[in-house]
Structure 1
């Protein structure tokens, strides 16, 4: 059985999470609750929990400091962070300190249960005692940064007609917030980033003289070769033909 500690300053949220988890009867159960980070540490000192689910914004000790304290004192404990759209910068901080994943509010019941199940399948989770010694290294956090996931998705699907709204949905973020976060993290907006990915791939393809420009245009997501050529020149300062000529290619 995976013992879970729920930490949130809203009693109704704690009650809701407890009902979702306990009613699932899936090998995990809420064994403790706390209203802030300080109370959470007291609970952890009194009972060996396998997993902590904690809010980011709480009075007293906030979620970031709470997670940092957990992994300095109880590095074997898995931590799931709950956050709103506007709090993702804090989520990033908790990931640095070892939080294994995060869920956006309002929490989707199935997402929560799936995540707990995944954690329970990891070695040292349910049925084992977390190591209370600070000498044990914290578990590494998975690469679940939404911007990293978005960039990976673009790299795989840049040739298709993908939109900001589509990718925002894939990474479970509000489209407006995702757009702002993407610009902040990458230094360019979504459309500019997508175009650059396409043109960089086109440059690689143009270096092979056997690839015709019309075919390259389709390969990188542009049905109209003339439009592709205009975009290519706007980004590189050269037409595709000029770019290829500079590299000794011939075919158009």
Structure 2
């Protein structure tokens, strides 16, 4: 079972989520609940958890500051926001803080189930990859796999504003060496991999009609929407608008069947 720390200043919300949602069926359990970010951080200093499910607006310390503090801890803790605020600002701040997903209150059963089912698949894959690294032969092969895995994992979590300098700080290598090393071991440039991660995330965000195209552009790391549109079309073979319209038609066709 993966362990969840639930953080929300509303006692009724905490009680309902902890006791009425079938976490164990999805492979999770709520092991502790806190009423604000400061209380949650205190708990995290002495206990290990896999997921923090937190409200955004709370007294003492809000969810955004909590997510920033968790990111600085450099631990593999997945953070998911639960909030009644659909404002673009919060979604943008969430991605900057490495937040995995964002559930709007009141969280529908199907939405929570979908988010945590996807999360479990991701975490199971990470565990398997880690086990493969541990069990593989020692030496250069293990070292190489570890480095590439670290680069890809960090990129997938911080794609919006990642730089080679960030990776250099983590891996204790120069930015130029990381770029050359990645190309040598994978066969493609780091910039190509980063673009792939961003374009896949952009495609996912386009299925959520709360976001405008220019907002998605910013969320995946493009300050210029025109550059984003050009890159999206190059990668997916169509513009973001065309992609969204096609997805709408596909959903409509499914509903008619």
- When normalised by structure 2's length, the TM-score is 0.51
Partner residue, 1:171: 208
The residue correspondences of 1:23-34 to structure 2 (distance < 5 A) are 24-34=24-34
RMSD of Structure 2 on Structure 1 (CA) = 3.8
After TM superposition, the structure 1 = structure 2 runs for residues 68-107 of structure 1, keeping only pairs within 5 Å, are 68-107=68-107
Residues 26 and 116 in structure 2, CA contact (< 8 A), matched pair in contact too? no
Task: Give the distance between the partners of 1:54 and 1:4, measured in 2 at CA.
Answer: 10
Q: Closer, same or farther in 2 for the Cα pair 1:28/1:21, shift >3 Å? A: farther
1:105 is displaced (CA, Å) by 1.2
- Deviation by residue 1:100-127 (Cα, 9 ceiling, x = unmatched): 111111101122122112212233469x
TM-score if structure 1 supplies the norm length? 0.52
1:4 corresponds in structure 2 to 4
- Report the 3-state secondary structure (helix = DSSP H, G, I; strand = E; otherwise coil) of the residue aligned with 1:82: strand
Post-superposition shift, 1:21?
3.8
1:46 match: 46
- Which structure exhibits the higher relative contact order, with contacts defined as CA atoms closer than 8 Å and separated by 6 or more residues? 1
State the secondary structure of the residue aligned to 2:87: helix
Gaps of 5+ in 2: 131-149, 160-196, 218-224, 234-244, 246-257
Distance 2:109 2:22 in 1: 12
Other-structure match for 1:156: none
Distance 1:124 1:45, change over 3 A: farther
Residue correspondences, number: 160
The structure with the largest alpha-carbon Rg is 1
| Equivalent pair of 2:36/2:58 in contact (CA under 8 Å) | yes
Cα offset, 1:62, TM superposition: 1.1
